Structure 1
Amino acid sequence: MVDIMQAQRIMDIARKLVRNKKYRNHIIRRLVQETQRAARPPTSTRVSEEDVKFLSSLKIGFVGGCELSFMKEFLEANSAQVYHTFDHNEPSNPFLAFSDEKSGLYSFNPSVIIVSDVQDIRNYIFDIQHGATNFTKQEEQLKQARNRIMNGINLARKKLSTVFVIMNYPLAIRPAHGRFDYKHLSNAYSLREFLRHLDLLYFEMSKQEEDIYFLSIDESFLSAGVGHQIREGDADGIYEHLTREGAVTVAKDLIGHLKVIMGYGRRIKCAVIDLDNTLWDGILRDDGVEGINLHQNRLKALELLTKRGIVLAISSKNDSTLVPLIDEILGERSKLFAIKKVNWNDKAQNLREIAQELNIGIDSLAFFDDNPYERDQIKTFLPQILVLPDTEIIHALNRLDFEPIGKLTEESSKRTMMYAQQAIRESAEKMYFDKESFLRACEMRLWMREVRPENLGRVTELILRTNQLNATAARYTNEEILDFYRSDDYKIYAVNLDDKYGEYGLIGVALVHREDFKWTMDVLTFSCRAMGKTVEQTFLTYLMNEAKKHGAKTLVGKYIKTDRNEAVEKIFEEAEFVRSLGKNEMVFWEYNFDERGIPKYPDWFEISK
């Protein structure tokens, strides 16, 4: 059916070229224009070396019409492997494209697919511009648009494990009924209204489906300035096409989207802020509280970063006696800062201590300071840290480095509070002479169970964020975790902890591959907040019990050594697992509980399931 449609389409175009002189001249004129511009088209623009490296790791599928061609050209020129259904005379309609089991898209096996429904949406735009529609018809059209994409994606999911990015309609608004068309079209959505409804539909689909994302062309244009983003040579208020400049603008925005979706690049876990002439104008020691001017916008931007799970800290060269004044200036927002290093120590020393106290890698820190000397010193002695001037605080919300890792969870926004609770625990621990007495006094409650759908976001976040207690440093996206969750061959287990000081949240994850007599942990990872409480060994005991219930006799852990995860080896050693070497730096740690029995749970935990 699809092959017949493609052949018919080619024949129709050929007939039109032969019989219609105006159409033939139009095509010739367009070919001349494109040839002239091809000497150095904007799509030959090179992106950064980092982006080229990232793109070279991707296989990008494009499902749609010619509106995607220039984007494909740009990404292909920058090392991405690309397959565009339009280039192979396959349907532009997403449902028909995904319905074709012989489509080259399936053998290409893309890691991400860009979906455009522009060709069919144009018919709806035509109806609006010609006043030939109404609310009932448009609601049906919106339903059709949703079904075309969702039904197509559901077909693709049967053959591919990939991510889908829906691109919206590239239209420079030229309303046939005037700029106030929404007032004149009383029985139908105006052009702007319909496109907004369409965008909301795409947002809804992306919100409900773990493997679907939305790329808004409007936002891409806003970031670049609309300029010459839409081609005007053949624009008529219905047919709209990206120029090469527009394609580059949208494609660059797409690269940013894909980096976040794929978890590519560094992610900041803690932002460290200077105070004088950074968080406020003036020098507190000299000007006093009355003489400084707090940058409320910067403080608000930092507060918003905490919603992403980013911890805030202060490093300021000042007398420690000024801390009460600093708290007074910041007011309630003083609680946003988990650590305050207010002293005359070298700032490099302060930053090392902050990373150590939070138990995170030094490369997870960002440092904001107005002083070029301080910035250069950190760049020299701690080059792993992201160093930025004070003016960049407000722009952190748009930087990829500060994007959340995985799906935001309730625990993400509580991270500062959790670190404050941890400081109280560490202070209390100093009052005890031995570790076990302190652990019993903490009144710890442990929940261990198979994960539920609502836990998957936090599971992904923990796998992507954790370096020190990650047995293989494996990184999986939301979509891959969802595939494991749906699989009969795998189980995902999680551990939660709280005590009398507060909640730790979900702090451990195991992704287990089940075989008849052996369970293998492809992923074993813990939050650094779990360290020192024997949560890790207790979780391994729980997994042995679960494996035994299903007839297994051994529990195996995979381990690949990195420069950050030596602590995992110690966990296996203390749990008395037996070490053996595998291939390609893989190490296996095995415990035969059928022969050796299963250890008991420590008595300082109240165990729940």
Structure 2
Amino acid sequence: MKTVKCVVWDLDNTLWNGTLLEGDDVQVTAEARHLLELLDSRGILQAVASKNDHDHAWAKLEQLGVADYFVAARIGWSVKSESVRQIAEELRFAESTIAFIDDQPAERAEVEYHRPDVRCYDAARIPELGALPDLTPPVVTADSRNRRGMYRAAARRDSAREEHTGPDADFVRSLDLVMRIEHATEEHLLRVEELTLRTSQMNATGVHYSLEALRALLDDPAHRVLVVSMADRFGPHGAVGVVLMEVGGPAWHLKLLATSCRVVAFGAGAVLLRWLDDQAARAGAHILADFRRTERNRMMEIAYRFSGFTDDDCACRAALGFAGDGLQRLHLVTAEQPPPDTMTLEAPEPAGTAR
């Protein structure tokens, strides 16, 4: 079963003790506050679905110092199943990754009936929920711990995009984007492994690299493991890409390029490919890029083709031998490239030099 990505909380007699509209002096219970903090530290987002007056309830959440934990809220008089559906849609999460906590059996039953993929928990179980495997991600990275901040930044970014009336390129420039490319370290490896596992549409081969395999590449002087992160005026995007590449010789071997789908609209893949093109050209090398077509990575193939990669033969192919295992090796005759005009690029020394 998938790990929960978002926990949706009821308020009265769930997050806090008492009923707000009945004038109770409600307080967040110690157990609920502990679970809020624990889930947040694990990168699990949290939201509210409550039958209450919105302004009154939200003011109380702010007064109690917990409003910032919630990235979405449906507070009003809609049925809970519809509130949960809207939250899942807003966050772009499958309902199978949503959990719902409520003290009322009738409310849980209504959600279970209309949203059968949502996991429902009795509020009486709050003290034990933090120990459930469903709420314990196998990996917690630095990006995971900052997930709430990244979602808030994304919401502000999306709002700005909706208000923008000019060309998309002008909007991208207005973001003051910064892309940082750096050599991966041990601290990056959990996130790099996660990117190779979870990225599908913008993954050139669909191959998952384990931590052991990544460590072996880090220790190999012929290989480069590069991690790509982005940020803009709204906040961080976090680590959004990984490059696994063998350098040296007449052709650099690009074994894996994967980028998060959430930065496709900003041209991140194209900027990264142009940088690799430029670095290889300065080293006097071509690039041979592994590509394996999957059901979902058509966008990655388009990015390669648009950047000039072809199936053309070249003498440099002989050095790598037969690809096999359904792999294509796309070839690029490299050329020095100008810096991007839509973002600032912070990159290490040329990728082919010593670390």
Q: Shorter chain as normaliser: what TM range?
A: 0.7 to 0.9
Q: SS where residue 395 of structure 1 aligns?
A: helix
Asked if 2 retains the 8 angstrom alpha-carbon contact of 1:577 and 1:589, the reply is no
Choose which of 313, 317, 321 in structure 1 pairs with 2:55: 321
| Aligned position for 1:605 | 343
Residues 427 and 520 (structure 1), Cα distance of their counterparts in 2 relative to 1, 3 Å cut: same
Residues 543 and 364 (structure 1), Cα distance of their counterparts in 2 relative to 1, 3 Å cut: farther
Distance across 2 between alignment mates of 1:370 and 1:477: 41
Distance across 1 between alignment mates of 2:225 and 2:117: 33
* Shift, 1:390, TM fit: 2.6
Asked if 2 retains the 8 angstrom alpha-carbon contact of 1:509 and 1:525, the reply is yes
* Shift, 1:353, TM fit: 4.2
Residues 566 and 272 (structure 1), Cα distance of their counterparts in 2 relative to 1, 3 Å cut: farther
| Aligned position for 1:211 | none
* Shift, 1:605, TM fit: 0.7
Q: SS where residue 545 of structure 1 aligns?
A: helix
| Aligned position for 1:503 | 236
| Aligned position for 2:3 | 267
Asked if 1 retains the 8 angstrom alpha-carbon contact of 2:252 and 2:287, the reply is yes
Q: Is 1:366–2:99 an aligned residue pair?
A: yes
Distance across 1 between alignment mates of 2:126 and 2:340: 46
Choose which of 193, 196, 203 in structure 2 pairs with 1:460: 193
Q: Please state which structure has a larger fraction of its residues in helix.
A: 1
| Aligned position for 1:312 | 46
Choose which of 26, 32, 36 in structure 2 pairs with 1:298: 32
Distance across 2 between alignment mates of 1:441 and 1:506: 21
Q: Is 1:420–2:155 an aligned residue pair?
A: no
Distance across 2 between alignment mates of 1:396 and 1:334: 21
Q: Which has the larger radius of gyration?
A: 1
Residues 273 and 512 (structure 1), Cα distance of their counterparts in 2 relative to 1, 3 Å cut: farther
* Shift, 1:450, TM fit: 2.4
Asked if 2 retains the 8 angstrom alpha-carbon contact of 1:407 and 1:460, the reply is no
Distance across 1 between alignment mates of 2:339 and 2:249: 25
Aligned-residue identity in percent? 28
Residues 523 and 326 (structure 1), Cα distance of their counterparts in 2 relative to 1, 3 Å cut: farther
* Shift, 1:536, TM fit: 1.9
5 Å-filtered alignment, 1:107-506, equals 266-284=2-20, 286-288=21-23, 290-329=24-63, 331-345=64-78, 347-406=80-139, 408-409=141-142, 411-434=143-166, 435-466=168-199, 469-488=202-221, 490-506=223-239
TM-score norm. by structure 1 comes to 0.48
Q: Please state which structure has a larger fraction of its residues in strand.
A: 2
Residues 399 and 489 (structure 1), Cα distance of their counterparts in 2 relative to 1, 3 Å cut: farther
Q: SS where residue 163 of structure 2 aligns?
A: coil
* Shift, 1:518, TM fit: 4.7
Distance across 2 between alignment mates of 1:496 and 1:517: 29
* Shift, 1:315, TM fit: 2.5
Could you tell me which runs of 5 or more consecutive residues in structure 2 were left unpaired when the two chains were aligned: 313-322, 348-355
Distance across 2 between alignment mates of 1:552 and 1:377: 62
Q: SS where residue 266 of structure 2 aligns?
A: coil
| Aligned position for 2:352 | none
Residues 295 and 532 (structure 1), Cα distance of their counterparts in 2 relative to 1, 3 Å cut: same
TM-score norm. by structure 2 comes to 0.78
Distance across 2 between alignment mates of 1:396 and 1:520: 47
* Shift, 1:296, TM fit: 2.6
Q: SS where residue 268 of structure 1 aligns?
A: coil
Q: Is 1:554–2:287 an aligned residue pair?
A: yes
| Aligned position for 2:351 | none
Residues 478 and 389 (structure 1), Cα distance of their counterparts in 2 relative to 1, 3 Å cut: farther
State the Cα RMSD in Å.
Answer: 3.5
Asked if 1 retains the 8 angstrom alpha-carbon contact of 2:178 and 2:343, the reply is yes
Asked if 2 retains the 8 angstrom alpha-carbon contact of 1:439 and 1:604, the reply is yes
| Aligned position for 1:592 | 332
Asked if 2 retains the 8 angstrom alpha-carbon contact of 1:448 and 1:542, the reply is no
Residues 378 and 537 (structure 1), Cα distance of their counterparts in 2 relative to 1, 3 Å cut: farther
Residues 526 and 379 (structure 1), Cα distance of their counterparts in 2 relative to 1, 3 Å cut: farther
Could you tell me which runs of 5 or more consecutive residues in structure 1 were left unpaired when the two chains were aligned: 1-264
Q: SS where residue 195 of structure 2 aligns?
A: helix
| Aligned position for 2:315 | none
Residues 551 and 269 (structure 1), Cα distance of their counterparts in 2 relative to 1, 3 Å cut: farther
Asked if 2 retains the 8 angstrom alpha-carbon contact of 1:407 and 1:461, the reply is no
Asked if 2 retains the 8 angstrom alpha-carbon contact of 1:544 and 1:555, the reply is no
- The alignment of Structure 1 onto Structure 2 pairs a total of residues equal to 336
Residues 308 and 367 (structure 1), Cα distance of their counterparts in 2 relative to 1, 3 Å cut: same
Distance across 2 between alignment mates of 1:349 and 1:593: 54
* Shift, 1:416, TM fit: 0.9
Q: SS where residue 532 of structure 1 aligns?
A: helix
